[in-house]
Each structure stands twice: as C-alpha cells, then as structure tokens.
C-alpha cells in the first residue's frame, strides 16, 4: 500500500476537487453533513478554535496495487485506523474513494485542529510515522507490502552513491537533505520562510533563473535532481509553498546574499550546468566538457567580481 500526505490552507478547494471528481464517492465521515457546502462549513467551525494555524487541512491518500481491490467497508476500516494512528482520532474527517487510476485508492481530508480542545495534531516526523503505520496496516489487513521510501535508493542517485552509503553505513548527503526539506515544507507557508528554515538546518540555498539548488557538506544538488517536489516550481505545486514575486523576491535575495533584481548572480547554476554538460556526455566530446566547465568557472568568477564591485 502506498500513502501520500499533504497540508494546505483551503478546505473548499480540496473538497471541491475530491467531491466533484468524476466517479468519486464519499464513503464515510464523522461529521453531520454530507454535502460539499455543509462539510466546508463544519470544517471552518474547527478552524475557529485555533485561527493562528494557517495550514489547517490534512489531506492523505492510500492506494493498493492493481490486483488488490476492497469494498467500501474495508476501506473505511483502514481509513479510520490510519487517521487514528496519525493522531486524528479527535478531529473531523471525510473519506472519498476514487476510481480514476488502475490503483484502487481513497482520499482522506481531516482538520489538523482537534474539535475537543482546539489543540493541533502534531506533524513531527509525520512522513516516517505514516510509512511505519502503513506497514502495520498491510499486515493487519493482509495487503501486499511495498518497500519503505527510506529503504530504497532514489532513482536520481548518481552512480555509486547508494552503494557507498551502504558500505559506510551512513546516510548520504542526499538522504540527509530529504528530512530537512520535508520538515521545512511542513512548517512554512511562503518561499522566504521555507528558505530560511532550510538554511537554519545548515543547508546552503541558491535561487537563480534556472531554479533552486541546495548544498550540504560541500555537495550540491539542484532541486530537480532531488525530485520534482523540491524544485522551485514543485515546491509551489506539490508542497503548497507560496511564492509571490512582488512580495518575496527582496526577502529571498537578502536570505541568499544576492542583489535583488540581478540575473547575473554568481550562484550554483547547478541545473543549467547539468543540462548543458548532459548534451555532451559522450566519449567523443570529453574535450568539449572540459572547455564548458572552464567557461562556466570563468563566467562565475566574472559575475562574482561584478557583484563585489
């Protein structure tokens, strides 16, 4: 079974999508309403108990492999066990079942604010806790097990990185970055806040016209190399990190130490360089690769001199 989870700010937006999607069916809720407007109204009542929490919406999905199918009652049992295990036993929730993919799956929407006392459901290590819980549910409901995300190499790992990590018995820099970035997206709303949180964990961040890049322990990665969620666009699209240029550009420039409005920043330019080098990545073009690398270094030194002036 595969699980995904997200946090966002609008109950109406996510419910409108889940409620009105073709073939969608609401299979359970602990609230009094079943209509879209009624559900939104009830969720907003819990929001009033703790209005300071901006991202009060918890959205999670669970899916099984194509050869496994379940009836609504079994899916609801799993959904209730999952929500209880993640700390949402005292929160409002609604569950939808979708049939738009080959994988039978459900979506759960819950309030991160407990209806009883207005306290917030903890999201500490929620990605790891979710995967541990899913393994337990697989055993309890006799479902096909899937490999935990931390046990399998990322498909974007450079050759030898994963084998080196196994040999040394220590997590790679890439694996150290993931929990830092996941924590930052879960605890921030805007791009400047996200960058600041990542930097506070000792990660260097660069933002250029080509995207966002991260460096830790002297090793740099473009956002795209870590996964679509960690690119500049992906942070907005998949992780709910808000970016408004007029509001955020000056703050971002101050955080990463570049001049606001300058496209000639001497930053990593990792994504651009990787794409360019990939075009020449063959035995016949080794000379061109060396020359390209030298040109990039010269351009970056020239840009740095311009900024210092």
23 and 78 both lie in a single domain: yes
Query: Could you list the residue range(s) of the whole structural domain that residue 77 is in?
Result: 2-149
pLDDT at 294: 59
Q: Are residues 186 and 236 in the same domain?
A: yes
Q: What is the pLDDT of residue 302?
A: 56
DSSP reduced 3-state for 17 = helix
Last residue of a domain, one of 98, 114, 149: 149
Residues 135 and 169 in one domain: no
Cα-based distances in Å from 68 to 1, 37, 98, 103:
10, 33, 14, 8
**Do residues 64 and 188 share a domain?**
no
The order of strands in the sheet holding 105-111 is 2-8, 57-63, 105-111, 93-98, 25-29
pTM for the structure as a whole: 0.52
Shared domain check, 199 and 83:
no
pLDDT at 189: 84
297 found inside a domain: no
Same domain, 70 and 43: yes
What pLDDT is attached to residue 98? Answer: 87
Walking along the chain (309 residues) 10 residues at a time, the average pLDDT comes out as 87 92 91 95 95 93 84 96 96 91 85 95 86 91 70 45 57 88 86 93 90 92 91 89 90 78 38 42 44 56 52
In this prediction, residue 301 carries a pLDDT of 58
- Does one domain contain both 132 and 9? yes
8 and 133 in a single domain? The answer is yes
Angle between helices 126-140 and 72-85 (to 10 degrees): 140
Residue 307 is assigned to a structural domain of this protein: no
- 251-261 burial, b for 16+ CB within 10 Å, e for fewer? bbbebbebeee
Domain count for the chain:
2
Q: Kindly provide the b/e burial profile for residues 278-287, where b requires at least 16 CB atoms within 10 angstroms of the residue's own CB.
A: eeeeeeeeee
Residues 6+ apart with CB under 8 A from 252: 191, 192, 195, 207
Residue at 270 is within a domain: no
CA atoms lying within 13 Å on the CB side of residue 62: 28
CATH number of the domain to which 60 belongs: 3.30.930.30
Do the domain assignments include residue 215? yes
């Amino acid at each position: 079974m595969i699980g995904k989870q997200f946090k966002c700010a609008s109950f109406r937006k996510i419910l409108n999508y889940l409620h009105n999607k073709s073939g969608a069916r609401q299979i359970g809720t602990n609230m009094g309403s079943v209509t879209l407007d009624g559900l939104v109204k009830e969720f907003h009542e819990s929001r009033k108990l703790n209005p300071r929490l901006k991202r009060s919406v918890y959205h999670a999905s669970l899916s099984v492999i194509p050869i496994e199918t379940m009836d609504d009652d079994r899916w609801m049992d799993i959904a209730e066990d999952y929500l209880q295990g993640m700390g949402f036993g005292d929160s409002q929730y609604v569950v939808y079942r979708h049939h738009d993919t080959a994988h039978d799956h459900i979506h759960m929407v819950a309030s991160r604010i407990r209806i009883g006392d207005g306290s917030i459901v903890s999201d500490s290590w929620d990605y790891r806790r979710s995967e541990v819980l899913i393994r337990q549910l697989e055993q309890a409901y006799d479902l096909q097990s899937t490999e935990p995300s931390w046990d399998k190499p990322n498909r974007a790992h450079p050759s030898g990185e994963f084998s080196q990590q196994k040999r040394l018995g220590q997590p790679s820099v890439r694996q150290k970055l993931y929990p830092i970035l996941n924590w930052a997206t879960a605890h921030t709303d805007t791009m400047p806040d996200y960058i600041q949180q990542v930097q506070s964990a000792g990660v260097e961040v660069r933002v250029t016209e080509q995207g966002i890049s991260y460096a830790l322990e002297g090793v740099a990665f473009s956002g795209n190399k870590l996964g679509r969620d960690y690119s500049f666009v992906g942070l907005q699209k998949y992780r709910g990190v808000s970016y408004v240029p007029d509001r955020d550009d000056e703050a971002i420039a101050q955080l990463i130490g570049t001049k606001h409005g300058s496209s000639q920043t001497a930053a990593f330019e990792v994504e651009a360089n990787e794409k360019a080098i990939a075009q020449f990545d063959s035995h016949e073009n080794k000379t061109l690769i060396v020359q390209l690398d030298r040109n990039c270094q010269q351009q970056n030194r020239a840009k740095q001199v311009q900024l210092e002036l």
